[in-house]
């Protein structure tokens, strides 16, 4: 993890805080999920991805309770989303629980989104996370998609309907991150306001 990052108001927050600990704890569910899928245990696989999703929702609440929100935490959360759900998608596709083409498309678009976030950070010249409200919804849906695959819930339909939504959101976010002006740092924004 990197150094302390600032929050609005200029206060420094250590990266070793409760919210980031919750985010990191999501990685514990990954080997358990992979083991369940490898052993054909559909229900346990569903339980582990459900726990991963709950922890994803919990870290934001923990950050609010302990007052430790930071730019680093937001970026770390996005990275954890990518690693957890990306790995889960690869695993379920590998074991034939999900259609391959939509999964490959989703992963490709996920990588493109990560590259754009990196370029956005380069444009801004600081650690910054583009808050994509639409992508938040799609990430939530990705967790559900993995659950649909482990539970056998209309898998083909669910995965194929995700693809056009993903393409539309990526196109929107590409424009926002690469073409639109980068907002000023939070402290400067507060002064300007």
Provide the binding-site residues for other proteins, judged by CB under 8 A.
Answer: 36, 39-44, 46-47, 50, 131-134, 136-138, 140-141, 144, 147-148, 151, 153-154, 157-158, 161, 165, 168-169, 172, 176, 180
Nearer residue to other proteins within complex by CB, 13 or 149 = 149
CA atoms within 13 A on the CB side of 183: 14
CB of 4 to other proteins, least distance (A): 27
Name the phi and psi angles at 61, rounded to 5.
-65, -40
CB of 154 to other proteins, least distance (A): 4
Using only C-alpha atoms, what is the Rg of the chain? 18
**Token pair recorded at residue 13:** 């927050």
In contact, 62 and 9? CB cutoff 8 Å: no
CB of 157 to other proteins, least distance (A): 5
Nearer residue to other proteins within complex by CB, 43 or 96 = 43
CB of 18 to other proteins, least distance (A): 24
- Neighbour count for residue 140 (Cβ, 10 Å): 15
């Amino acid at each position: 993890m990197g150094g302390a990052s600032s929050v609005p108001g200029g206060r420094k927050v250590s990266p070793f805080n409760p919210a980031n600990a919750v985010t990191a704890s999501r990685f514990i569910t990954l080997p358990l999920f992979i083991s369940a899928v490898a052993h054909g245990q559909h229900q346990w696989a569903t339980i582990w991805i459900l726990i991963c999703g709950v922890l994803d929702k919990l870290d934001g609440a923990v950050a609010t309770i302990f007052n430790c929100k930071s730019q680093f935490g937001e970026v770390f959360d996005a990275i954890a989303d990518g690693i957890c759900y990306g790995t889960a998608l690869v695993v379920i596709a590998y074991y034939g629980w999900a259609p391959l083409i939509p999964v490959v498309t989703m992963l490709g678009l996920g990588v493109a989104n990560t590259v754009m976030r990196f370029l956005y950070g380069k444009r801004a010249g600081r650690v910054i996370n583009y808050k994509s409200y639409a992508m938040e919804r799609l990430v939530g849906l990705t967790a559900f998609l993995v659950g649909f695959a482990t539970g056998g819930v209309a898998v083909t339909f669910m995965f194929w309907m995700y693809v056009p939504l993903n393409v539309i959101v990526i196109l929107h976010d590409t424009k926002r991150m690469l073409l639109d002006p980068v907002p000023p740092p939070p402290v400067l924004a507060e002064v300007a306001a």
